[in-house]
Amino acid sequence: MNNLTAQQNAVTELMRISPIADELADRFGKAGHKLFLVGGSVRDALLGRLSPDLDFTTDARPDAIQRVVAGWADAVWDTGIEFGTVGLSKRGMTVEITTFRADSYDRVTRNPEVSFGDTIEGDLVRRDFTVNAMAIDLSTKKFVDPYGGLDALRRKVLDTPATPEESFADDPLRMLRAARFASQLSFEPAPRVVAAMTDMASEITRITAERVQAELSKLLLGEEPRRGIELMVGTGLADHVLPEVPGMRLAIDEHHQHKDVYEHSLTVLEQAIDLEKRHEPTSEPDLVLRLAALLHDIGKPDTRKFESGGGVSFHHHEVVGAKMVRKRLRALRYSKDVINDVAQLVYLHLRFHGYGKGEWTDSAVRRYVTDAGDLLPRLHKLVRADCTTRNRRKAIALQRTYDDLEQRIARIAEEEDLAKVRPDLDGNEIMRLLGLPPGPLVGKAWTHLKEVRLDRGPLDHDEAVAELRAWAREQGIEPKD
């Protein structure tokens, strides 16, 4: 794609949203101001993937922006006005219009000392990467590209308008954004960008956990998260964001088929994404599955044991790993639901390997399903993705064994409705039969009957009553007649 073709593509894409852009440009022009489509909006237009959120920049000051859009926009908000940004919506599109900026940074936090600029070139030089430092003058439909963004986009290279040292000192989060763009857009950072990230990796600690988490999640949800993770690990950025991931390079995979557990985990991540796309091609990327795939073996370094004869074991690494996942994801301010789900997948991912060649009883299959709960479809993908052996015969055998387990789950589920496994007697009937008031003993009886249900499958009513009465006698409770 040469620059002329790229410009033509962008203008074509621009025409698709031209009613709003043209209307805005006309209003700003009549008020004596210039308006530019800018940043990610231009980049995405060049890539043919324009989103419904548009970014504009202008020489108009914030109060003037508000006057221009008053009466035209469907809604206007000023939550970013202290940074020169006015937000609005129009016909279902979200628009942000920001006054030219010429900020400086204290380089202690990532908060700019806001000052407004007078030129588009001055505004663009303060942006994170050259591919985001392009603009379209809406009055002429001409490109403004003072820092070579089009050429960088064509070559799929991430570089900075200013020196990367200046850019990252101003806002260290840009280093993590580089890794995110590597994942989302398959871009390769320029050598000087990689060098600056390596030298300045510790600066990421200036950034709040919430902002780090947001960028990390976008990275993992990209098309090629392995690229982003490898960039983070290679530059040392991961040492401050997800230290457990580079830490896995210390452990040797128990199958001795991979360079180390780190490489194995990246392969599992890729294979989980392949399964995700194959089974739910129209669904959004699955953050929980991807986090679990990347982190499923983080407990191995702490549980590594060298056995006599040269072997290596990692006993209970799934238990240790689940605890480590909870600690790390809490530190990154993930939601409680995400933390619980990822930790449970890590905890359960190894259980299948006790299945052998189908030796599990139906009771064990029920427990597998019950413990997984709503996570069962994700657990299926994670376990299948965790097979990374290069021995084709062994890989086929493992997949067939898991096929057999899934078939058994389907059969038992059809017979017993495993999704709703509950005791054969409810709490009210337990209280009536045992003459108990509501309280802990009722809960214990309910739990006991559920365990029996998992072990033996559904009981008829008389069997369930007999089981409850037998349990009650063992507890010193005399059942009612």
From the list 388, 302, 380, 394, the residue with the least C-alpha distance to 345 is: 380
Tell me the pairing of strands 53-58 and 93-99: parallel
Same domain, 399 and 333: yes
Residues 392 and 357 in one domain: yes
Contact between 159 and 193 under an 8 Å Cβ cutoff? The reply is: yes
Return the pLDDT at 309: 67
Residue 140: CB atoms within 10 A of its CB come to 10
Per the domain annotation, does 126 fall within a domain?
A: yes
The verdict on 355 and 298 lying in the same domain is yes
* C-alpha torsion sign, points 60, 61, 64, 68: positive
Domain assignment of residue 256, yes or no: no
Question: Could you give the CA distance from residue 425 to residue 346 in angstroms, rounded to a whole number?
Answer: 33
**Same domain (yes/no): 308, 270:** yes
Please name the residues in contact with 261: beta carbons below 8 A apart, sequence gap of 6 or more: 248, 249, 251, 252, 253, 297, 300, 301
> DSSP assignment, residue 435?
T
Q: Into how many domains does the chain fold?
A: 4
Residue with tokens 């989302």: 184
Rounded Cα gap, residues 477 and 441, in angstroms: 10
CATH code for the domain of 227: 1.10.110.30
Judgement on whether residues 376 and 288 belong to the same structural domain of the protein: yes
Shared-domain flag, residues 430 and 415: no
How confident is the model at residue 123, as a pLDDT?
92
Based on the fold, state whether residues 217 and 271 are members of the same structural domain.
no
Residue 256 is encoded by which pair of tokens?
Answer: 């001795």
Please state the φ and ψ torsions of residue 76, each to the nearest 5 degrees.
Answer: -135, 140
Do the beta carbons of residue 292 and residue 345 sit within 8 Å?
yes
19 shares its domain with 136: yes
Say if residue 119 is in the same domain as residue 21: yes
- Judge contact between 160 and 193, C-beta under 8 A: yes
Q: Print pLDDT tens along the chain (481 aa).
A: 566 665 656 665 665 666 888 899 999 999 999 999 998 888 888 887 767 788 999 999 999 999 999 999 999 998 888 888 999 999 888 999 999 987 655 556 556 666 788 899 999 998 999 999 999 999 888 889 999 999 999 899 999 999 999 999 989 999 999 999 999 999 999 999 999 999 999 999 999 999 999 999 999 999 999 999 999 999 999 999 999 999 998 655 455 444 589 999 999 999 999 999 998 887 899 999 999 999 999 998 877 777 666 667 677 788 999 999 999 999 999 999 999 999 999 999 988 887 777 788 888 888 898 889 899 999 999 999 998 888 888 888 888 888 898 899 888 877 666 555 666 678 788 888 888 888 888 888 888 887 877 777 777 888 888 888 888 888 888 766 6
What CA–CA distance (Å, rounded) separates 351 from 356? 10
Task: Specify whether 304 is located in the same domain as 403.
Answer: yes
Structural domain boundaries enclosing 126: 3-155
**Hey, what are 340's tokens?**
């619980």
Q: What is the spatial distance between Cα 481 and Cα 477, in angstroms, rounded to a whole number?
A: 12
Are residues 164 and 36 part of one domain? no
CATH number of the domain that 274 lies in? 1.10.3210
Residue 252 located in a structural domain: no
111: left (phi over 0), alpha (psi -120 to 50) or beta: beta
Residue 340: partners with Cβ closer than 8 Å, 6 or more residues away: none
Q: Which residues pair with 53 in a beta bridge?
A: 94
C-alpha 365 chain-centroid distance: 30
Where among 213, 241, 269 does a domain terminate? 241
Whether 365 and 451 map to the same domain: the answer is no
Domain containing residue 143: CATH number: 3.30.460.10
Look at residue 248 and tell me if it is in a domain: no
Look at residue 110 in the predicted model and tell me its pLDDT.
Answer: 53
CA distance 447 to 427: 10
